[in-house]
Structure 1
């Protein structure tokens, strides 16, 4: 995407600016899952020994692009134990997300399921003309079953992105949460936050009260958490950062792969395709949370029954889903408090 198109897309984004349970919903507390401690986003920076920056290969990168704030994105992925394991990321700077081209990125791994984990360098890759890397982990370094933290370290200036790889060897239960208008109070909270960055203000996307505590509840029951959003790929880092700041449990974050916000039926198709790809790998989705008919459509496509699909906001209860008036009340229903 060239700079003119990028500016046009950003402008469009900126301008775009139980009823609670009637006895039908099956609550998570009725599942016989072990109660686990809750894991939060922790990128293990205190245990990471940072190599000294090497400087950039390209003068423009060194003197122009990297004078701006970094906005790097790593892309969370799920693989079965027999699949190729691929690490992908994009590296950009500044409000216009200018791409870092033809520079080296070191790739480190930290197992979250190992008793004595250490950071391990598993390779390096050079960004292409789109600021993108795609690194196929060699067979002799393939990651074990479990969850792995991946750090993408830009060798030139020591900036980084963090992401997760989940390696499966069987079924795993998940709950899926849409973000915009579901965890945030409107569909355009993230756009407003990005606009604030663009115009040097400090707006932060507003969270529905107790949205994070509802997610914590499901995480405490042993469910994996998926944050699924139709935001463009270049907002992956911002999405992850917002979840960290608002104290949400650790989970996989998945955005669209395109540069534009995906809307309407295209959003339903995007979400359904991704959810079904995960289902084919062994992930079972028991519950889904959204705010639109497209969410209900996508969640239904992977077999989540309507009484386990919850919607909030002005469209709550749409298409036979269970309406949520407030997460605070819903949490009381879950916990019995």
Structure 2
């Protein structure tokens, strides 16, 4: 059973029905992106000496699967804990502390202690939260290494802009060649970061949908921070395998439908590959709202972005009204 399937089942079981409000603009992200220091937990060490050795010799590659839910839904977040970019040895049977901070909060809320399973995973119950944007920290008891993720709770009709990453924001299409070794230092298309930030400043929810395996999210978040891209909702391949072209299109279609069913109004989507074009069409997104950069720009009646984002930024993005207009 995949992480996504598990989360779907748990959400359906635990969903509380609350009468939703309607909103156009995205929840404010200021609090989630400017949290206070996380409280330090007592140092109890590792449960197993082998994990202490693992931590001493290898770099942590922990990650959290971001969660986006509609207002009134119970949220559950998966965390995955392992060490080393190549080795990816799972951290088994160890304790992880979970904290949450965000919209309307004045301090971190402690959500409890969880123990990793044989795959190095935990599933943390985040609860039924008000509409807002929240940062979640999962901290390993043994060595205080941590993973960061985000919970976004949206009201029906919330306006959003969605971006693929590889070949769309980056110059290199790592997704196409299945070679991710350069993602930490990848160059961005000119005015790509400015384009994303402009939408965020106008009140649109920013969503990233990538076929990158989940174990690359640590590097992905570091790259986005380095490029000053808004850290909103990022969804990666939860199974960790390298997709075929057919798999990629279906995976993206499924998640687009998930987002739409959850209450997002995707006003524009961005991509570069034929799998992006196919997935956007199958999810019912209009061609006039589908923007493609690169060799396939304008294919299948999509809107072309020629060269880089500079012209698109000045003629399309900047004149776009705010989300609440």
TM-score, scaled to structure 2: 0.83
CA distance in 2, matches of 1:329, 1:81: 37
Does residue 48 (structure 1) correspond to residue 38 (structure 2)? The answer is yes
From 294, 305, 316, the equivalent of 2:286 is 305
CA distance in 2, matches of 1:123, 1:188: 37
What stretches of structure 2 of length at least 5 have no aligned partner? 1-23, 320-325
Equivalent residues in 2 for 1:236-251, closer than 5 Å:
236-251=217-232
CA distance in 1, matches of 2:196, 2:156: 23
Does residue 328 (structure 1) correspond to residue 317 (structure 2)? The answer is no
Kindly state the Cα deviation for residue 57 of structure 1 after the two structures are TM-superposed: 0.3
Q: Does the aligned pair in 2 maintain the 1:216–1:248 contact within 8 Å?
A: yes
Does residue 69 (structure 1) correspond to residue 59 (structure 2)? The answer is yes
State the SS of the aligned residue for 1:311: strand
Provide the residue aligned with 2:149 in structure 1.
163
Does residue 91 (structure 1) correspond to residue 81 (structure 2)? The answer is yes
Provide the residue aligned with 2:322 in structure 1.
none
Kindly state the Cα deviation for residue 42 of structure 1 after the two structures are TM-superposed: 3.0
CA distance in 2, matches of 1:190, 1:49: 41
Provide the residue aligned with 1:217 in structure 2.
198
Does residue 316 (structure 1) correspond to residue 305 (structure 2)? The answer is no
Provide the residue aligned with 2:92 in structure 1.
101
Provide the residue aligned with 2:137 in structure 1.
151
CA distance in 2, matches of 1:190, 1:292: 8
Equivalent residues in 2 for 1:249-328, closer than 5 Å:
249-325=230-306, 326-328=308-310
Q: Closer, same or farther in 2 for the Cα pair 1:53/1:269, shift >3 Å? A: same
Provide the residue aligned with 1:233 in structure 2.
214
Q: Does the aligned pair in 2 maintain the 1:39–1:249 contact within 8 Å?
A: no
Deviations 1:187-213 (A, max 9, x none): 12898985369xxxxx61111111100
Q: Closer, same or farther in 2 for the Cα pair 1:312/1:269, shift >3 Å? A: same
Q: Closer, same or farther in 2 for the Cα pair 1:58/1:35, shift >3 Å? A: closer
CA distance in 2, matches of 1:185, 1:254: 20
Q: Does the aligned pair in 2 maintain the 1:101–1:131 contact within 8 Å?
A: yes
What stretches of structure 1 of length at least 5 have no aligned partner? 1-32, 198-202
Kindly state the Cα deviation for residue 282 of structure 1 after the two structures are TM-superposed: 1.0
Q: Which one is further off, 97-106 or 294-303?
A: 294-303
Q: Which one is further off, 277-286 or 74-83?
A: 74-83
RMSD: 2.6
Equivalent residues in 2 for 1:170-181, closer than 5 Å:
170-181=156-167
TM-score, scaled to structure 1: 0.80
Q: Does the aligned pair in 2 maintain the 1:43–1:162 contact within 8 Å?
A: no
Kindly state the Cα deviation for residue 37 of structure 1 after the two structures are TM-superposed: 8.5
Q: Closer, same or farther in 2 for the Cα pair 1:230/1:60, shift >3 Å? A: same
Deviations 1:285-309 (A, max 9, x none): 1100000121122122333211111
Q: Does the aligned pair in 1 maintain the 2:72–2:129 contact within 8 Å?
A: no
Kindly state the Cα deviation for residue 64 of structure 1 after the two structures are TM-superposed: 2.9
Equivalent residues in 2 for 1:5-24, closer than 5 Å:
none
Deviations 1:52-102 (A, max 9, x none): 432100110002344211111011111234333212110111122211111
CA distance in 2, matches of 1:223, 1:255: 21
Q: Does the aligned pair in 1 maintain the 2:26–2:204 contact within 8 Å?
A: no
